Amino acid sequence: MKQAKQKPVVAILMGSDSDLEVMSEAEKVFDQFGVASQTRILSAHRTPKQTVDYVEKAEQSGLKIFIAGAGCAAHLAGIVAAHTTLPVIGVPLAASALNGIDALLATVQMPGGIPVASMAIGKAGAKNAALFAVSILSLSDARLAAKLKDYRKSMTEIVLKKDQDLRTR
């Protein structure tokens, strides 16, 4: 269920609507944890002014964490980080002939002073970006911290069950 009525605490940004299918993995996690998020298409290259405007205004409106997914020469996470001191989590996406290696290097190789937490390329990265954001929010939210522990526990139980099924088939 979407958390439309709550004020968003996390922004899920992406450079293009072609990124949406992968970045929706982050939305799913926030829905699962009951964290209010806002998803926007904002590009470092195609809408640079609107991107900076959004970052500057979002900070004032109570947003706490930015997730930025982009492919090709992925500068979105970097440009967001250049305009805020809030945590920025980058998700490199496979959108070119280089299968995301270009985006990974652009996201992870930030110069000293402007950090971006880079996740893995693609869907696992989008999912982990949201879980990492939940982990950050859990530092000041005991309810969320308990949910995150339950999430890990049930993940372990699912894998153990699969192993058990495999051994007894």
Closest CA to 35 of 57, 75, 83, 67: 67
- CA 11/CA 8 separation, integer angstroms: 7
How many residues sit in the footprint of ligand RP5 (CB under 6 A)? 11
Smallest separation, CB 30 to ligand RP5 (Å)? 20
Query: Exactly one of 95, 110, 133, 137 binds ligand RP5 (CB under 6 A); which one?
Result: 95
Q: Which of 15, 134 has the CB closer to ligand RP5?
A: 15
In our burial notation (b when 16+ CB lie closer than 10 A, e otherwise), range 145-169 reads eebbeeeeeeeeeeeeeeeeeeeee
Task: Establish if 93 lies at the interface with ligand RP5 (CB under 6 A).
Answer: yes
Task: Tell me the three state secondary structure of residue 110.
Answer: coil
Q: Which of 23, 144 has the CB closer to ligand RP5?
A: 23
Smallest separation, CB 28 to ligand RP5 (Å)? 19
- CA 57/CA 43 separation, integer angstroms: 16
How many residues belong to the chain? 169
x/- binding map, residues 7-46, to ligand RP5, per CB under 6 A?
-------xxx-xx-----------------------x---
Residues lying near ligand RP5 in the complex (CB under 6 A) are found at: 14-16, 18-19, 43, 70-72, 93, 95
